Amino acid sequence: MHWKVMGPAAAVALAAVACSPQDDAVGQATLAAMALDPAAIPSSPTNLHADDPAASALGRRLFFDKRMSADGGVACASCHDPSKGFSDPRPVSLGVDHRPGSRHSMPITAAALHPFQFWDGRADSLWSQPLKAMEGQKEMDFSRVEVAHFIHENYRADYESVFGPMPDLAALPPEARPGEAAWDSLPAQSRDDVQRVFASVGKSIEAYERKLLCADTRFDRWTRGEITLTADEQSGADSFVSNGCIGCHNGPSFSDGKFHAIGVGGADGADLGRAAGLPLLLADPFNGAGAYSDDPAAGKALLAIAASEAGETRAFRTASLRGVGQRQRFGHLGDSNDLRQFITQVYRGGGGGGRGGGGDNGLDPLLRGVDADNVDAIIAFLRTLDCPVPSADLLAP
Ligand code: HEC
Ligand code: HEC
């Protein structure tokens, strides 16, 4: 299966479902279609190794390896902690040398279901995303040349069994990245060699992350007719549909994978979200249309979709609600640690703290008519999405 991007007709139909008076049969059918089948997750055409078990085994070890950071103390798992639903209980994560980031960490349990990664969608694959985390100065601050040396020293055999022979790195400086003289002065061939290793490291991590699916929840078992919901949970399910939550939280991850301005933002409004992320994605040499993609045509088609969905300013990616009740912080700011309070504040009276969606207030039209009543039952329903404990073979090596 490829990314099924919802066409305008389907979106309108869903919005209509969302706004119509409660209709149990329609609501039930819509929810049933949100079951997650791990065997049917979208393919990742730009990564030939996305479903290669050897790549995934390497990716798993790298995911937990703190040595792959400037101070040797930060791994992917530091901010995506398996014991915390692969998320981070801190409002914003701390990278190397305890440098604070600017957004709350995202849970990655359903990341393989979203075509665009990050709150602002500045990555279009699960293999290009980790490259930003590794080199990011507030995250691991490990330059691409350091990554290549690190793999050569520590994981050479595993790497080569998946991606073929490593290039000769002997003449390279210990560290270098674009924007630094040490990088810019390297021969084009050396830069390409390094970037191929860098991209391949990302591809092995993607192969691992594709297995981190919050599947087989009580919700999924309910859709298969294996269990019934309590009256409270059922009432919450009905309200989730009739209150209009499903307008954006739809599909198997309970996220449409799209970007919406719902009025969650810092007081200064400086974070432009998707509006800032899109230009970065289009200019990224590691995007799906670029030289390191295994299927540039597929990557190009996805980028065309991204470009056509410019969206509102201060739009952020709809958060997946799988596992939401197990998380300790909500929204891209991570400033709320109370699920009930988050929902009530954001969605009361149509979002934006009661300002109403659509119109000229810059908020998403899908917020129109959305309400936060029956919130305790909605939370009871959302807890049916609690993720089962990941199997031991997916945890730290
Ligand atoms: C210092 C903390 C930190 C580290 C280390 C870190 N991340 Fe993240 N991660 C974040 C934050 C914060 C975000 C959201 C950032 C944003 O949107 O700008 C994020 C977002 C993501 C996403 C996007 C999920 C989605 O649904 O869009 C994925 C996937 C991810 N990280 C995987 C990784 C991997 C793999 C590594 C290791 C190579 C890693 N992260 C290292 C903090 C971290
Ligand atoms: C217009 C689209 C839209 C609608 C409608 C909508 N949401 Fe959201 N939701 C989002 C977006 C976008 C985010 C990410 C917000 C941010 O920037 O932090 C989000 C975040 C959330 C979160 C935080 C999850 C996390 O882990 O951070 C919860 C909980 C949530 N929504 C529940 C609901 C409920 C309940 C309803 C119905 C009352 C609803 N949403 C309606 C788009 C929507």
Contact by Cβ (8 Å): 58, 155: yes
The answer to whether the CB of 332 is under 6 A from ligand 2 is yes
Give the span between the Cα atoms of 317 and 340, in whole angstroms: 20
Contact by Cβ (8 Å): 36, 213: yes
Give the span between the Cα atoms of 77 and 72, in whole angstroms: 13
Q: Which ligand is nearest to the CA of 109?
A: 1
Which pLDDT value is given to residue 261? 93
Which pLDDT value is given to residue 362? 81
Residue 231's Cα: distance from chain center in Å? 32
Q: What is the mean pLDDT of the chain?
A: 90
What does each C-alpha distance from 152 to 138, 158, 197, 207 come to in angstroms? 25, 10, 10, 20
Which residue's CA is the nearest one to ligand 1's atom 15? Answer: 118
Q: Is residue 200 over pLDDT 80? A: yes
Which pLDDT value is given to residue 358? 55
Length of the chain: 397
Confidence of residue 6 (pLDDT cuts 50, 70, 90): very low
What does each C-alpha distance from 318 to 59, 92, 264 come to in angstroms? 26, 18, 11
Whole-number Å distance, alpha carbon 72 to ligand 2 midpoint, is 35
Which pLDDT value is given to residue 19? 39
User: What is the per-residue pLDDT across 99-154, written as a single tens digit (0 to 9) for each?
Assistant: 999 999 999 989 999 999 999 999 999 999 999 999 999 999 999 999 999 999 99
Q: Which ligand is nearest to the CA of 311?
A: 2
Which pLDDT value is given to residue 26? 74
Give the span between the Cα atoms of 281 and 283, in whole angstroms: 5
| Token pair belonging to 266 | 């810092």
Q: Which residue bears the tokens 């087989």?
A: 216
The residue whose CB lies within 8 Å of the most ligand 2 atoms, and thus the one to mutate among 90, 318, 329, is: 318
Dihedral sign computed on CA atoms, order 266, 271, 274, 275: positive
Which pLDDT value is given to residue 28? 83
| Token pair belonging to 104 | 């709350």
Which pLDDT value is given to residue 85? 86
Q: Is residue 64 over pLDDT 50? A: yes
Which residue's CA is the nearest one to ligand 2's atom 30? Answer: 343
Q: What is the dihedral of CA 46, 52, 55, 60, to 10 degrees?
A: 100
pLDDT, mean of residues 236-251: 95
Least Cα distance to 245 among 17, 9, 7, 85 occurs for: 17
What does each C-alpha distance from 82 to 85, 119, 138, 310, 339 come to in angstroms? 5, 20, 21, 33, 20
Radius of gyration of the chain measured on its C-alpha atoms: 21
Which pLDDT value is given to residue 108? 93
User: What is the per-residue pLDDT across 27-63, written as a single tens digit (0 to 9) for each?
Assistant: 888 899 999 999 999 999 999 999 999 999 999 999 9
**Is pLDDT larger for residue 218 or for residue 356?**
218
What are the boundaries of each domain within the chain? Answer: 8-41+216-385, 53-209
Q: What's the CATH code, domain 8-41+216-385? A: 1.10.760.10
Which pLDDT value is given to residue 23? 57
Confidence of residue 369 (pLDDT cuts 50, 70, 90): confident
Range of weakest confidence among 95-109, 222-236, 298-312: 298-312
The answer to whether the CB of 36 is under 6 A from ligand 1 is no
Which pLDDT value is given to residue 12? 37
Range of weakest confidence among 13-22, 48-57, 229-238: 13-22
Which residue's CA is the nearest one to ligand 2's atom 3? Answer: 248
Its CATH class, for the domain covering 53-209, is: mainly alpha
pLDDT, mean of residues 367-383: 94
Least Cα distance to 369 among 381, 361, 358 occurs for: 358
Q: Which ligand is nearest to the CA of 204?
A: 1
Whole-number Å distance, alpha carbon 144 to ligand 1 midpoint, is 17
Least Cα distance to 307 among 337, 336, 341, 277 occurs for: 277
Q: Is residue 293 over pLDDT 60? A: yes
Give the span between the Cα atoms of 321 and 84, in whole angstroms: 15
Whole-number Å distance, alpha carbon 290 to ligand 1 midpoint, is 22
The answer to whether the CB of 248 is under 6 A from ligand 2 is yes
The answer to whether the CB of 330 is under 6 A from ligand 2 is yes
Which pLDDT value is given to residue 112? 96
Confidence of residue 17 (pLDDT cuts 50, 70, 90): very low
Which pLDDT value is given to residue 16? 41
Which residue's CA is the nearest one to ligand 2's atom 40? Answer: 245
The answer to whether the CB of 247 is under 6 A from ligand 2 is yes
User: What is the per-residue pLDDT across 180-194, written as a single tens digit (0 to 9) for each?
Assistant: 999 999 999 999 999
The answer to whether the CB of 76 is under 6 A from ligand 1 is yes
Report the amino acid identity of residue 385: L
Give the span between the Cα atoms of 40 and 37, in whole angstroms: 5
Among the atoms of ligand 1, which is closest to the Cα of residue 277? 18
Q: Is residue 8 over pLDDT 70? A: no
Whole-number Å distance, alpha carbon 360 to ligand 2 midpoint, is 20
Whole-number Å distance, alpha carbon 154 to ligand 1 midpoint, is 23
The answer to whether the CB of 118 is under 6 A from ligand 2 is no
Tell me the pTM: 0.93
Give the span between the Cα atoms of 175 and 196, in whole angstroms: 16
Whole-number Å distance, alpha carbon 68 to ligand 2 midpoint, is 33
Least Cα distance to 330 among 95, 340, 101 occurs for: 340
What does each C-alpha distance from 200 to 56, 92, 149, 376 come to in angstroms? 12, 28, 14, 45
Which residue's CA is the nearest one to ligand 1's atom 14? Answer: 105
